[in-house]
Amino acid sequence: MFDLQGYGPILMQGTLLTIKLGLASLFFGLIFGLLGACAKLSNLWILQKLANIYTTVVRGIPELLMVFFIFYGGSVIFLVIAKQLGYQGRINISEFWAGVVALSVMFGAYATEVFRMAIQDIPKGQFEAAESLGMTPFQTWTRIILPQMWLVALPGLGNLTLVLLKDTALVSLIGLKDLMYFAQRASQATQKPFTFYLAAALIYLALTSIITLFVMWCEARANPAARYAKMLRKQSRGQA
């Protein structure tokens, strides 16, 4: 049942592409999330409206439809724009970058709310204290707000990252040769779907376990008080 019949290296190749897709989508998704949160908390009503429209629309559309819309609709939109500029050739969107855009947009919509709630959880008095000390807005955000925001947002971002990794499987439906794509092709060639889908499931499980451990490590590193309390507990056990 666990004989991969020589398809193991191909599955590993697809796994590497899945990891690249997930990392790229996470990077751009965090940027979209931060920009969306800042827009929602902005004093400019137009930015608030645009951010609300972004999160409402994206969270209301199934992930698979978003992937199809970016891949097929993006080609049409770019072709129309190119024709207006005088270009008459053909435009094709890469499956990888179409997946990155779709996954980043979806991740960013949910991350916007995570960042917004994390920022709002910080007492307003800290903004006022930073201003009274003569800090610039940039210094206030980088030295005071962002370190505390990450501590609050990390659990939510960790859950979103797990969802993002699993959503990468959707991109195989537009032809990206990721883990799910090769698992499907191998199952069709060998007529052993259970074997290869089980292998893919175990690989996804291993990746999500690594992400979970990494998020736990980040939470511990971002909370010095928790580390200090843990050290004191160890010392008290040693003395006992």
Dmax (CA) for the chain in angstroms is 80
**Which of these, 56, 19, 55, 8, lies nearest to 171 by C-alpha position?**
19
**Which of these, 89, 107, 96, lies nearest to 71 by C-alpha position?**
96
- Residue ranges of domains in the chain: 8-238
How high does pLDDT run on average in the chain?
86
8-238 folds as MetI-like fold (1.10.3720)
Mean pLDDT of 67-96: 79
Which pLDDT belongs to residue 57? 94
Candidate ranges 16-25, 85-94, 141-150; pick with highest mean pLDDT: 16-25
Which pLDDT belongs to residue 53? 95
CA angle 59, 46, 125 (to 5 degrees): 90
CB 125 within 8 A of CB 83: no
pTM of the prediction? 0.86
Tens of pLDDT, residues 171-222:
999 989 999 999 999 988 888 888 889 999 999 999 999 999 998 888 877 7
Which pLDDT belongs to residue 238? 62
Which pLDDT belongs to residue 148? 83
Tens of pLDDT, residues 42-73:
889 999 999 999 999 999 999 999 999 998 88
Which pLDDT belongs to residue 1? 45
pLDDT reading at 15 higher than 80? yes
pLDDT reading at 103 higher than 90? yes
Distance of CA 233 to the CA centre of its chain: 35
172-8-211-95 Cα dihedral, nearest 10 degrees: -20
> CA-to-CA distance for 158 and 239, rounded, in angstroms?
36
CB 112 within 8 A of CB 32: yes
Place of tokens 């917004």: 116
Which pLDDT belongs to residue 92? 73
Count of other CB atoms within 10 angstroms of residue 187: 19
**Which of these, 80, 66, 82, 84, lies nearest to 25 by C-alpha position?**
66
Which pLDDT belongs to residue 225? 62
Which pLDDT belongs to residue 161? 95
Which pLDDT belongs to residue 149? 85
> CA-to-CA distance for 153 and 17, rounded, in angstroms?
27
CB 103 within 8 A of CB 167: yes
